[in-house]
Structure 1
């Protein structure tokens, strides 16, 4: 997520929208690999760590939606 601004700038500088698409794909892959390992299990109560992970997921969603918008693609409200 921290590389997103630099990835957008590099793509614009080189006029290479494919760089944005590859960056979004790697971001989505990282989030998908991450999310299944950190969700609360069963009746486990959410903790501060869970809330932090949720905030990270929301930030990733914002980055993905913004990146898709740059490419002219409408992001779904919910996946």
Structure 2
């Protein structure tokens, strides 16, 4: 993970690349990756990325992801 420290890319792209590398190395049926980016200036970003093997279904519903210190976002009503 330390090799990604100085990547000149968007947080979303780096998160997806880390997920892709983990999937290639471990070949999981399901993997959920939450990255928390804290950069200078008090700006922080949380990025959620998931991998699901084709045809895989969970035995039960997966729990929602909660971001510490954040309120859930919902799209505005039309």
Larger % of helix: which?
Answer: 1
- Both proteins in one fold, TM over 0.5: no
The normalised TM-score by structure 1 is 0.34
TM-score, normalised relative to structure 2: 0.34
Structure number with higher relative contact order (C-alpha < 8 Å, ≥ 6 residues apart) = 1
